[in-house]
Protein backbone atom coordinates (compact mmCIF):
# COMPACT_ATOMS: atom_id res chain seq x y z
CA UNK A 1 0.00 0.00 0.00
CA UNK A 2 1.53 3.43 -0.92
CA UNK A 3 1.98 6.12 1.72
CA UNK A 4 1.18 9.83 1.24
CA UNK A 5 4.34 10.24 -0.85
CA UNK A 6 3.60 7.34 -3.18
CA UNK A 7 6.16 5.04 -1.55
CA UNK A 8 5.17 1.44 -0.90
CA UNK A 9 4.76 0.92 2.83
CA UNK A 10 4.85 -2.61 4.15
CA UNK A 11 4.33 -3.36 7.80
CA UNK A 12 5.92 -6.17 9.71
CA UNK A 13 4.13 -7.39 12.83
CA UNK A 14 5.97 -8.55 15.93
CA UNK A 15 5.28 -10.14 19.23
CA UNK A 16 7.66 -10.70 22.10
CA UNK A 17 9.18 -13.99 23.17
CA UNK A 18 9.27 -15.04 26.84
CA UNK A 19 12.40 -12.95 27.53
CA UNK A 20 11.19 -9.87 25.67
CA UNK A 21 12.94 -10.56 22.36
CA UNK A 22 11.04 -9.37 19.23
CA UNK A 23 9.76 -12.20 17.04
CA UNK A 24 8.27 -11.68 13.57
CA UNK A 25 4.66 -12.81 13.31
CA UNK A 26 2.80 -13.14 10.04
CA UNK A 27 -0.52 -14.44 11.40
CA UNK A 28 -2.80 -11.56 12.32
CA UNK A 29 -4.79 -13.66 14.82
CA UNK A 30 -1.64 -14.62 16.75
CA UNK A 31 -0.53 -10.99 16.75
CA UNK A 32 -3.94 -9.88 18.04
CA UNK A 33 -3.86 -12.50 20.80
CA UNK A 34 -0.45 -11.20 21.87
CA UNK A 35 -1.74 -7.61 22.02
CA UNK A 36 -4.67 -8.58 24.23
CA UNK A 37 -2.70 -10.92 26.49
CA UNK A 38 1.06 -11.24 27.04
CA UNK A 39 1.74 -7.71 25.73
CA UNK A 40 0.79 -6.35 29.17
CA UNK A 41 3.81 -8.09 30.70
CA UNK A 42 6.02 -5.70 28.76
CA UNK A 43 4.52 -2.37 29.83
CA UNK A 44 6.05 -0.11 32.48
CA UNK A 45 4.35 2.97 33.92
CA UNK A 46 5.59 5.47 36.49
CA UNK A 47 3.34 8.30 37.65
CA UNK A 48 5.25 11.28 39.03
CA UNK A 49 2.36 12.90 40.86
CA UNK A 50 4.38 15.78 42.37
CA UNK A 51 5.49 16.83 38.86
CA UNK A 52 2.18 16.01 37.11
CA UNK A 53 4.22 13.72 34.86
CA UNK A 54 4.00 10.18 33.56
CA UNK A 55 6.63 7.88 32.09
CA UNK A 56 5.50 4.76 30.28
CA UNK A 57 7.38 2.20 28.26
CA UNK A 58 6.05 -0.42 25.88
CA UNK A 59 6.93 -2.43 22.81
CA UNK A 60 5.90 -1.08 19.42
CA UNK A 61 4.48 -4.31 17.91
CA UNK A 62 4.77 -3.24 14.27
CA UNK A 63 7.28 -1.43 12.06
CA UNK A 64 8.07 -0.83 8.43
CA UNK A 65 9.64 -3.91 6.84
CA UNK A 66 13.11 -2.36 6.70
CA UNK A 67 13.09 -0.94 10.26
CA UNK A 68 13.94 -2.99 13.33
CA UNK A 69 11.30 -3.23 16.07
CA UNK A 70 11.72 -0.87 19.02
CA UNK A 71 10.55 -0.24 22.55
CA UNK A 72 9.19 3.25 23.23
CA UNK A 73 9.61 5.26 26.43
CA UNK A 74 7.31 8.27 26.59
CA UNK A 75 7.70 11.17 29.03
CA UNK A 76 4.61 13.33 29.30
CA UNK A 77 4.46 16.38 31.60
CA UNK A 78 3.29 19.99 31.38
CA UNK A 79 5.32 21.46 28.50
CA UNK A 80 7.19 18.17 27.90
CA UNK A 81 6.34 15.41 25.42
CA UNK A 82 9.35 13.25 24.57
CA UNK A 83 9.72 9.76 23.16
CA UNK A 84 12.88 7.67 23.42
CA UNK A 85 13.57 4.36 21.70
CA UNK A 86 15.42 1.24 22.85
CA UNK A 87 16.33 -1.87 20.84
CA UNK A 88 15.76 -4.46 23.62
CA UNK A 89 13.48 -4.99 26.62
CA UNK A 90 16.48 -4.85 28.95
CA UNK A 91 17.58 -1.50 27.47
CA UNK A 92 13.98 -0.26 27.65
CA UNK A 93 13.73 -1.11 31.35
CA UNK A 94 16.97 0.76 32.03
CA UNK A 95 15.87 3.75 29.92
CA UNK A 96 12.51 3.86 31.75
CA UNK A 97 14.30 3.98 35.11
CA UNK A 98 16.74 6.68 33.96
CA UNK A 99 14.02 8.87 32.39
CA UNK A 100 11.84 8.53 35.51
CA UNK A 101 14.74 9.39 37.83
CA UNK A 102 15.80 12.40 35.77
CA UNK A 103 12.22 13.67 35.43
CA UNK A 104 11.80 13.40 39.20
CA UNK A 105 14.99 15.45 39.70
CA UNK A 106 14.58 18.18 37.08
CA UNK A 107 10.87 18.77 36.49
CA UNK A 108 9.32 21.46 38.68
CA UNK A 109 6.92 20.45 41.41
CA UNK A 110 3.26 21.03 40.69
CA UNK A 111 1.80 23.65 43.06
CA UNK A 112 -0.87 22.35 45.40
CA UNK A 113 -4.37 23.76 44.99
CA UNK A 114 -4.64 27.01 46.93
CA UNK A 115 -0.86 27.57 46.97
CA UNK A 116 0.39 31.03 46.02
Question: Is residue 115 in some structural domain?
Answer: no
Residue 62, in any domain of the structure: yes
**Is pLDDT above 70 for 4?**
no
Q: How many domains does the structure of the chain reveal?
A: 1
| β-strand partners of 64 | 11
Residue 116 lies in a domain: no
Element (H, E) at 77: strand 71-77
**33 contacts 40 by C-beta, under 8 angstroms:** no
Is residue 6 in some structural domain?
no
- Rounded to an integer, the average pLDDT of 26-34 is 88
pLDDT tens digits for 52-102?
A: 999 999 998 888 877 889 999 999 999 999 999 999 999 999 999 999 999
Full-model pTM: 0.80
Q: What values do phi and psi take at 64, rounded to 5?
A: -65, 150
- 47 in Cβ contact with 24 (< 8 Å): no
2 in any annotated domain: no
The domain of 63 spans: 11-106
Amino acid sequence: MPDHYGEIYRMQFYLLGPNGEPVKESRMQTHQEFLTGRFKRFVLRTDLIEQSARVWTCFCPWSEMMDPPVFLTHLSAPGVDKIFTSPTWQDAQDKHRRVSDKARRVLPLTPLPGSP
